[in-house]
Chains A and B, each alone.
Chain A
Amino acid sequence: MSSIGSKGALAGLAAFAAAIVLAPFLLPDYYQSVLIVAGFFAILSMGLNLLLGYAGQISLGHAAFYGLSAYASGILTATYHWPVPAGVAAGVLLSGVTAALIGIPTLKLKGHYLAMGTLGFGVIVYIVLNEAVGLTAGPSGFTGIPRLSAFGRTFTSDREYYFIVWGIAFLLFVLAQNLVHSRMGRALRAIHTSESAASVLGIDVPRYKAFVFVLSAVYAGIAGALYAHFVTFVSPGSFSFNASVQIVTMVVLGGMASLWGALAGAVFLTVLPEWLRAIENYDILIYGAILILTMRFLPGGLAEGACRLLSRVRRLFRGKKADAAVLPDAGREDA
């Protein structure tokens, strides 16, 4: 992908903001809760993309951070009557601190071993959520979580919630974008390419890895707390191994090392099942097939596919000469 100049970046951000504002007016009303759920996954996959896409470290247990924060915020506000903002803060903090603690030994593992380490952590958290019945209400799920509120105002309508979730997603996007274009981002990419080479260059590899791990857990924690106060109910099933795999799938399908890709993957995979509702029963096959075909024909994920499409459209607008040059190329790709 071409490097993003500040002008291009600003245009992108403006387009993103416009899309957030316009979506609820352009789409039918019943899409609101789909888009809210997509917002949770967008935050989750942006966070995981920092870790997986940029730093090249896999996590198959990311749903654990999502769940820890959701449960912590839910329990503190419902059982212990904390104010909601305090519960959310505590939930996010718990995710971050847990990541710092388990990150130190886990990130020493490499490749598939790291995948296993994070998977094992996810399984352990899942079991604790199931078994600590006194605290979490166990497999039946934890009920009675209050809706999100702040400054003495409770946000009950879905529309308000939509703007809150996507507003936060937007801020987190800007934060992540600044990060990946900083010194930090370059260091992470160096680690992705080769850890030994990076450390020879004087990059403190374990520290950078731990930092990005904690940051991605904080993103997951924010998504988790927002989720808990939206659904007002949490159960362990939402934070299982399957959920972790789903987040990884969103990142890879959207496009590794691309924040736009993380957004695209999250929104696409959340909305897709809604489109597939019409073909009841066979939806699962189509879902699997789309996963395989996207990876087959869009190696760089949805983001790269969209970029290619965009540049082709641009070339088309440049007049007849360019047009003639483009067409055979287009024909070949479609075949």
Chain B
Amino acid sequence: MPFSSLLQFFVSGVTVGATYGLTALGFTMIYNTTGIINFAQGEFVMLGGMLAVFSMTWGGLPLPAAVPLAVLLVTAIGVAVDRLTIRPMRGRPPVTLVIVTIGISILLRGGAMLVFGKDTHSLPPFSEGAAIPIAGASLLPQTLWVVGITIAVVAAMKMFFDRTITGKAMLACACDRRAASLMGINVDVMVTLSFAFSALVGALGGVILAPITLTAYDVGVLLGIKGFAACILGGLGNPFGAVAGGLIIGVLESMGAGILSSGYKDAIAFVILLALLFLRPSGLFGKASADRV
């Protein structure tokens, strides 16, 4: 196998992996305040891409206006999801809430299908230009946007959770909601905020990925699975781990496809993921958790 091919597999893996990592970041946000896995996270990503596409085709907006509008709209949808469904059901067992998020994902996906149709769409890249050759491999300019924005988002999240009082309050909600509320933290606001942020991050991911990956009403399902896998591999609740998990899965898939078998590439990635989980049951960068049921 020539080096240039291996490098190409790696570059492709990083591009795809960043997709998973960004989705995983959204999962992390909501998990960190509510302890639940939001199965509608992939739909936030889908909505980001789709709303950007349709702001351009229906609204006639230029790309630089369509992108922030889409992100803003999805953030609003995230807040609405929390207010209408999650908040009235606070304190219910996690499994119940997970089913509710499944219901939400069905609603959002179905709504997108009815409003936007079933076709696949593409978004123009953020910057013009041909693929950039590096040592025999090639890289799309949009990949640089994806990687750059992913790094910026992780850094911002890390800062937010470590340095700001709001971020710490959100983490406190995840650890023990009652204790947090006794400490004077407004848990409702924190949860709403986490939905807003996670929708924002998801939408941002959807928008920057759409030029490379194309988008359709149903792209959220696969992204949801891979994003969930990424944050589990990285260790739940750790933004850095989520992105690292995404990159690892992306590179594993790409290397698996290139070196072993393209048919089994996802299986290869999941076998390795399971093997890692059996060795480290709390993920690569997760803290070993106490028995909290």
Binding site for B on A (CB under 8 A): 52, 56, 58, 105-106, 108-113, 115-117, 119-121, 123-124, 127-128, 130-131, 192-196, 241-242, 245, 248-249, 252-253, 256, 281-282, 284-285, 287-289, 291-292, 295-296, 299
Contacts and interface: CB of A to CB of B under 8 A. Distances in A.
Nearest to B235: A113
Interface stretch (B62-70, B128-136, B183-191, B261-269): B261-269
A299 B31 CA distance: 22
Contact of A291 (B94, B99, B266): B99
5 contacts: A120-B270, A121-B274, A128-B267, A253-B99, A282-B114
Interface stretch (B4-12, B47-55, B281-289): B281-289
Contacts of A284: 106, 109-110, 113-114
B95 interface: yes
Nearest to B39: A245
Contacts of A287: 106, 110
A252 B229 contact: no
Nearest to B99: A252
Interface of chain B: mostly helix, strand, loop or mixed = helix
A116 B277 contact: yes
Interface of B: 31, 37, 39, 85, 88-89, 92-96, 99-100, 102-107, 109-111, 113-114, 221, 225, 228-229, 232, 236, 261, 263-264, 266-267, 270-271, 273-274, 277-278, 281-283, 289, 291, 293
A289 B266 contact: no
Contact of A120 (B92, B105, B273): B273
A127 B104 CA distance: 27
Contacts of B85: 292, 296
A289 B107 CA distance: 7
Contacts of A248: 99
Nearest to B36: A112
Interface of chain A: mostly helix, strand, loop or mixed = helix
A117 B104 CA distance: 24
Contact of B232 (A113, A192, A289): A113
Contacts of B92: 295, 299
Contacts of B232: 112-113, 116
Given A281-B114, A288-B104, A124 B293 contact: no
A106 B39 CA distance: 22
Given A105-B278, A113-B283, A131-B263, A295 B229 contact: no
B85 to A, nearest CB: 6
Contacts of B96: 252, 295, 299
B291 A195 contact: yes
A55 to B, nearest CB: 12
Given A196-B291, A295-B96, A249 B267 contact: no
A85 B221 CA distance: 37
Q: Specify which of A109, A195, A256, A282 lies most central, judged by the most chain B CB atoms within 10 Å of its CB.
A: A109
B281 A295 contact: no
Contact of B274 (A117, A127, A249): A117
Contacts of B104: 288, 292
Nearest to B262: A131
Contact of A285 (B114, B266, B289): B114
Nearest to B109: A284
A111 B31 CA distance: 13
Given A123-B225, A127-B263, 9 more contacts: A108-B281, A111-B293, A120-B277, A194-B293, A287-B106, A292-B107, A295-B89, A295-B96, A296-B89
A196 B236 CA distance: 22
B228 A116 contact: yes
A196 B274 CA distance: 24
Contacts of A194: 291, 293
A288 B229 contact: no
A195 B293 contact: yes
A158 B37 CA distance: 41
A284 B109 CA distance: 9
Q: Specify which of B102, B109, B113 lies most central, judged by the most chain A CB atoms within 10 Å of its CB.
A: B102
Contacts of A131: 261, 263-264, 267
Q: Specify which of A109, A113, A119 lies most central, judged by the most chain B CB atoms within 10 Å of its CB.
A: A113
A252 B93 CA distance: 11
B229 A292 contact: no
B102 A291 contact: yes
A246 to B, nearest CB: 9
